[in-house]
Amino acid sequence: MRLLLLACLRAQTGNATTAARIQNHLHAAGHSCVLKDAFMYESPAEIANLTSTDKFDAALAIHLYKGGRLLQGSRIPFGIIFGGTDVNEDIKCKEKRQVMGAVLEEARFAVAFTVKMKELAAAEWPDSRKKIYVQSQGIKTTPSETFDWYTFLQNADIPTDTDNLHLFLLVCGLRRVKDPLYLVEVFSDWHRKDPSVHLGIIGPAVDPLFTSEVKEKVKRAPGVHLLPELPQAELHAAVRRCFAVVNSSISEGMSAAILEAMDLEVPVLARNIPGNAAIISHQETGLLFSNPQEFVVLSKSLMNDPIMEKEIITRAKEYVKKHHSWEGERKTYQNLVLRLQ
């Protein structure tokens, strides 16, 4: 089959990574899968013209609203993949909720990343419950073996001559929903008392205006560094060498950065929101904080208790292996697209 996959394809973001992974799964099954950025199109008529001209047999979209609305009334069958903002944010808007309901009604199938995501959707659109499947994101990390950690630290103006460096990495696209400034003030205060702790914020400048705001705040925050985005293999290598990975998002569907850190055997400290709590059991597979002050308390406990750190890392690695199998995800999508024939 020749398949169209619509998603928000900003480089180095979760949606783009998920779309590329699904494309890879479908290519492996012998299908042709073409990625298109949903932000490049404004109406279903444009997509109808595209699918007709380029002779697509079927389509997929990530996000019921951002991608799925463009497939409304489609001449070809399609499936849909829930994004985190669908059930966490967009569902609160009456107009968007109506559009998402109509998209779900037309779709041959829908995929939710978690049982909770499915239940939230099924409560809103009960007639579609049976067509919603749960498939967690599949994780496969590929750290670069040639990554130069010391050059990375030097370029970031992070001291390389200390044996007890504790670098916390916040991996996110710079946009408000990721709330990268949430911990900056409290982290700077902590750094003034303990110069061994540093926070690196790393990711693409998704929102240019907000990125300027982040740059200005970080300039005045000792111990906090804004780092340029890295290719995935180098990012995985950097994550593997840092002390912990941080997530401070206001809302998440399922954070690949968290799951990748778990797979790379690096502890995770994440804001206690539904999307994060769905994949982290507090003090079992990671640490969940509800405010900046609690983040510091938990971070210190992690630094001072290597046994707890080791136990969390071990359980997190086992969790990813059991619940986020890349091979399992591949099989699911290869089977689901057969419903579009």
CATH number of domain containing 264: 3.40.50.2000
Using DSSP's 3-state secondary structure scheme, residue 159 falls into coil
CA distance 177 to 207: 11
Strand pairing report for 132-134 and 110-112: parallel
Q: Looking at the domain assignment, is residue 86 inside a domain? A: yes
Q: Report pLDDT for 280.
A: 97
CA distance 276 to 273: 6
What is the arithmetic mean of pLDDT over 49-54?
93
- Angstrom CA distances, 279 to 128, 169, 190, 221, stand at 25, 19, 28, 31
Same domain? For 27 and 158 the reply is no
Q: DSSP alpha helices (H): ranges in the chain?
A: 14-28, 44-53, 84-88, 94-106, 115-124, 149-155, 184-193, 208-219, 232-241, 256-263, 274-277, 292-304, 306-323, 326-336
Q: Report pLDDT for 108.
A: 97
Do residues 64 and 118 touch, judged by C-beta distance below 8 A?
Answer: no
CA distance 72 to 48: 9
Q: Report pLDDT for 86.
A: 81
Same domain? For 86 and 121 the reply is yes
Average pLDDT, the chain: 94
Same domain? For 242 and 103 the reply is no
Same domain? For 75 and 106 the reply is yes
Same domain? For 162 and 115 the reply is no
Same domain? For 315 and 329 the reply is no
Same domain? For 277 and 181 the reply is yes
Q: Looking at the domain assignment, is residue 260 inside a domain? A: yes
Same domain? For 331 and 311 the reply is no
Same domain? For 299 and 332 the reply is no
What is the arithmetic mean of pLDDT over 173-201?
96
Q: Report pLDDT for 11.
A: 59
Torsion sign, CA atoms 73, 74, 79, 84: negative
**Percentages helix, strand, coil for the chain, rounded to the nearest 5?**
50, 15, 35
Q: Report pLDDT for 9.
A: 82
- Give tens-digit pLDDT for 103-131: 999 999 999 988 888 999 999 999 999 99
CA distance 330 to 332: 6
- Give tens-digit pLDDT for 16-46: 888 999 999 999 999 999 999 999 999 999 9
What is the arithmetic mean of pLDDT over 47-57?
94
- Give tens-digit pLDDT for 205-244: 888 999 999 999 999 999 999 998 899 899 999 999 999 9
Same domain? For 315 and 198 the reply is yes
**Total structural domains within the chain:** 2
pLDDT(165) > 80: yes
How many residues are listed for the chain in this entry? 341
Q: What is the distance, to the nearest Å, from the Cα of residue 297 to the centroid of all Cα atoms in its chain?
A: 26
Q: Which of 260, 259, 261 is nearest to 244 (CA)?
A: 261
Q: Looking at the domain assignment, is residue 143 inside a domain? A: no
Same domain? For 11 and 116 the reply is yes
Do residues 79 and 60 touch, judged by C-beta distance below 8 A?
Answer: yes
Q: Which of 63, 85, 46 is nearest to 8 (CA)?
A: 63
pLDDT(200) > 60: yes
Which residue is listed with tokens 């950097």? 238
CA distance 142 to 331: 20
Q: Report pLDDT for 13.
A: 65
Q: Looking at the domain assignment, is residue 206 inside a domain? A: yes
More confident residue, 311 or 120: 311
CB atoms within 10 A of CB 229: 17
* 48 half-sphere exposure, CB direction, 13 A CA radius: 8
Its domain, for residue 133, covers 2-138+325-340
pLDDT(12) > 60: no
The secondary structure element, H or E, covering residue 34 is strand 32-37
- Give tens-digit pLDDT for 260-309: 999 999 999 999 998 899 899 999 999 999 999 999 999 999 999 999 99
Q: Report pLDDT for 162.
A: 65
Do residues 59 and 29 touch, judged by C-beta distance below 8 A?
Answer: no
The tokens describing 333, both together, are 């999508």
Q: Looking at the domain assignment, is residue 144 inside a domain? A: no
- Give tens-digit pLDDT for 57-104: 999 999 999 999 999 999 999 999 998 778 877 888 899 999 999 999
Q: Looking at the domain assignment, is residue 105 inside a domain? A: yes
pLDDT(319) > 60: yes
User: pLDDT > 90: what percent of the chain?
Assistant: 83
pLDDT(203) > 60: yes
Same domain? For 306 and 179 the reply is yes
